Structures are given as C-alpha cells and as structure tokens.
A and B are shown apart, each in its own frame.
Chain A
C-alpha cells in the first residue's frame, strides 16, 4: 500500500518538476523515487495486510511481483538519456505516466476484488496508450497508439462482460466469495459462469499478448518508441501474468476443469505462433515482439501446471525475462539511433569490434532469452518445465516447449552472428553515458549471477 501511495505522490511531484527549465534533474529524481518505492515495498514482506474493505491485499506474492516490476522500471529508465538530449518538451509527463502506470500494475498483483482488477488494468493500459503514441509526429507511433487503443478498449469490454456474467452467477466480485460459490457448485455454477470465465480468460490473454489474441503486439511494439516498448514487454506482461495466476488460484481453482482445455490451447498456440513468427522477421524489434509473445507462452505453461511450484516459477521466469529484455531493447535503442533508425539485424553488423561492451551485454541477454545454461533464462525455463512435468499427462507440452526453445536459439543467435561475424558497415563507435554502461554491466552480472545461484530468487515464494 505504501508503494501505491508513494508512486502516486512521486508522479505528481515529477509533473511539477517538469515546470523547471532544466530537464536534467528529472531522470535522477525518478530513479531516486523508484529506489525509495522499492525499499518501502520490502517492509511489507511477511506482513500481509488488507486494505479498502479487503479489496486489496498486500501479501508476499504482491510484494515479490511489485519488487520485480519496480526493479524493471528502475533498470530501464537510465536508457532514456536519448530523450533528455533531444530536450523533449513532454519529458516530465512521460516519467510521471510511467510511475502512475506502475500503480495500476501493483493493483493488478494485489487485488482481491474484480473491481480492483479492472481498475488496475485500466490505470496501466490508459497510460500505455498515451506512451505508445508519445512520438506525435511519426506516423508509425500514431498507428501503434491507435491500434493499441482500439484493441485494448475492445478487449476491456470483453473482460468486463466476463466479470458481469460471473457476478450474475455468483453474486459477488470478491475472489474468495466466487471461489466459495464455485466450490459448492461443482466448479461450474451454470452456463453463465462458464461463459463469463471464458470471456475473462480471453480478456486477460489479450493483455499478456497470448495467441490468438497477440495480433496487435508486433505492430504496437514496432511502432512504439523503444523505451516504452521495453516497459510494455516487461512490466505490463509481468503484471498481466501475475494477475492471471492470482485470478485462477484465488477464484477459479475449483473450476480447473472448466478453464484448463481453453488455457492449454492458448498456451500451445502462443508457443508455436510466437516462435515461428519470430523466425521469419528481418526487423530486430519486430522479432523481439514475437519473442515476447513466445515468452508469454512459457509463462502460461507455469499457469497450466497449476501446482505449488507455479507462483515461484512465474516469479523467477518474469525476472530473468525482464532483465534480458531490458538489455536487448537498450542496445537496440543505441544501435538504431547511430544507424539513423535502422532496426534490422544488419544494423548490428560488426558491433563486436566497435562496441565490445554493448555486444557482450547483448550476447548474454540473447543467451538468457534462449535459455542457455549459466544465464538466468536457463533456470527460468527449467523451473517452469519441472513445474509442468509434475503432472505426467502434460509431458507432451514440455516436448513442444523444448522444440520451440530450440527454434528460439536460431533467431536469437542471428543477432549474435551479425555482431561478431559480419564486417562493420559503419565503423564509428557508439557513445554511451557512463551511468548507462554501468547499468548494462550491472544487469549482465545480475543475469549471470542468477544463472549460477538461482536460489537467490527462486526460494522467495
């Protein structure tokens, strides 16, 4: 709760700081704010408490996911230097919107009532619609914002209709009451309940860009300014998956048989579409968009397993995925800026010679995303797969996922090959600020550290 209040206040302070002439203070100030929130959040560990008439509960699950999301924002902000140098007139608003949307993300991982889930999703999404279109003069950014907005509003309607049908069947918005009603009625109360559950699953699947509701993701991710794409594919996705798991575990555990077939179909389709779609891309940013679809598939696998290991494996996977994705987008940002907005694989040619640091950080990130040992991504996949094989009937799902991970290695290593094997097209060295390079080193070391000692995070929940 303190983190929600602090973030709201800090967001408003940021807006006022925007009146000052010099914008240089905004970045350090926002980083300081996020660090304070990260620290304040930790005080709620092991001290579960309910707020707003039990509509929000800050328990260990909420604290852990809040921590990861705040950390992800903290790590991706230093790469916003590019906006400061261009003296963007709306800089303060961008930082404030990021802080405000984090409030929505925190509500999504700590809700106990459907109302809070809805409001959390909307606080997060409405801020993201604005940020997607923040590059006002570029048509690509306009198009991304419009697509994201129209599709987002449409699926919010679907989600709401699901909530209403569940309310009609059970008479409550509280997760515990819904679970109690479902438990005494054999998991499926009536047709209204089943249909409502299906619409809820569709609504949230859209938010985490799971196939077949992923069609917006590649377009929106490509058109959005890279910094906000990075936020979208880490924080928004983590919040969505955490909310999804919480919804299923707290309200629909008894209805497992009703949602399991739908969810397993969505998971398999997401894995296949995400990975195959990524193979054919020539644009690196678009490839990352498909890759984020495929990672939604791996995260959903932990949800499909639905046992005591699910939450811990979702937590670890989210962290490893967020670290690697932030690095990938940060390096892309530097490279495409140097190469006049070129975002294809060819833009990375010869980066290993001109900028060894950027190339090394990118290589570790790609290894982590594809799940090579000694990086965090390996243990992320391992935990998810071991959670799934607890149920012997789901063995085939692991086989599909491993095959898809093998496909993943192919497209992730395309960029590594471009960096080290291809001759440089433009031999100029890319200039990076010392703080940004420190952050790159920090994230890389953290990724490798988690790949050696995963127990640091995996035993938290």
Chain B
C-alpha cells in the first residue's frame, strides 16, 4: 500500500477532518443533552465512528496500514462495550421500568 489511489486524493484530507470533527461534536452534544440511556449510548457510538472514519482517512493519505488496523481494534472493543452496556441498561430497566437517566438520582450529595 505505498501508492495512494487517485480516487482518494480527489477529496482533500481536511474535508475528512472537518466531517469527522462535526460527527464527533454531534455525538458529544447528544451525550450531554439526551436523557434516554440508549440514545446516549448511540451518541457514544457515533463518536467512536467519527474516530474510525478519521483513522481510515489519515491512514489512506499516509499510506500507512497501522491506522486501519487500529480501526479493527476499536470495532472489536466497541462490540464488547455494547454487550456489557446493553446488559447494564437491561438490568437497570428491570428495576426501574425506565431507561431515563434522570430517574437515577439515588446517589448524590
């Protein structure tokens, strides 16, 4: 992979950077303002996918496979996180009958 394909060069790297940053910020805002645990979780996944997109773009432009391998690791770890996360949300739902995070306020000072 020493040659960068021309098709990739047609869009400058900066565009990928702006697009990924925008996706990432949308994810951050979603985490901060949404109240449903599952939607918050989807926003976190959006952040991770923004990271994946940027990684592949940078790796393509640098003709370096390291970045693309990193994407596989992020995907695998994100899958593990989904397993644990959804299990935790289901467990909470069984006790509270809701996925609204505002209801969880037993612990505060």
Contacts and interface: CB of A to CB of B under 8 A. Distances in A.
Given A126-B80, A219-B107, A142 B91 contact: yes
B82 to A, nearest CB: 9
A129 B85 contact: yes
Given A139-B95, A142-B95, A161-B24, A118 B77 contact: yes
Contacts of B40: 150
Interface string A299-332: 0000000000000000000000000000000000
Nearest to A129: B84
A149 interface: yes
Interface stretch (A9-17, A164-172, A252-260): A164-172
Nearest to B86: A149
Contacts of A143: 92, 104, 106-107
B40 to A, nearest CB: 6
A164 B73 CA distance: 13
Interface string B82-103: 0011011101100110000100
Nearest to A151: B31
Contacts of B106: 139-140, 143, 223
A145 B17 CA distance: 34
B49 to A, nearest CB: 10
Nearest to B80: A126
A146 interface: yes
A126 B79 CA distance: 11
A346 interface: no
A126 B67 contact: no
A229 to B, nearest CB: 12
A21 interface: no
A137 B92 CA distance: 9
Contact of A150 (B44, B70, B108): B44
Interface string B35-60: 00100110010011011001100100
A219 B108 contact: yes
B74 interface: yes
A133 B58 contact: no
B73 A115 contact: yes
B109 interface: yes
A153 B58 contact: no
A286 B109 contact: yes
B32 to A, nearest CB: 9
A199 to B, nearest CB: 10
Nearest to B49: A157
A152 to B, nearest CB: 9
Given A137-B95, A150-B37, A153-B81, A129 B88 contact: yes
A95 interface: no
Contacts of B55: 164, 167
A158 to B, nearest CB: 8
Contact of B92 (A146, A156, A161, A192): A146
B50 to A, nearest CB: 7
A280 B95 CA distance: 31
Contact of B77 (A119, A146, A172, A286): A119
Interface of B: 17, 24, 27-28, 31, 37, 40-41, 44, 47-48, 50-51, 54-55, 58, 62, 64, 66-67, 69-70, 73-74, 77, 80-81, 84-85, 87-89, 91-92, 95-96, 101, 104, 106-109
Interface of A: 115, 118-119, 122, 126, 129-130, 133, 136-137, 139-140, 142-147, 149-150, 153-154, 156-158, 160-161, 164, 167-168, 171-173, 192, 218-219, 222-223, 277, 280-281, 286
12 contacts: A115-B70, A115-B73, A118-B74, A130-B87, A142-B96, A149-B85, A150-B41, A157-B24, A167-B55, A171-B62, A218-B109, A223-B107
Given A145-B92, A164-B58, 16 more contacts: A115-B69, A126-B84, A129-B85, A130-B87, A143-B106, A145-B91, A146-B101, A147-B104, A153-B85, A154-B31, A160-B47, A160-B51, A167-B70, A173-B70, A218-B107, A277-B109
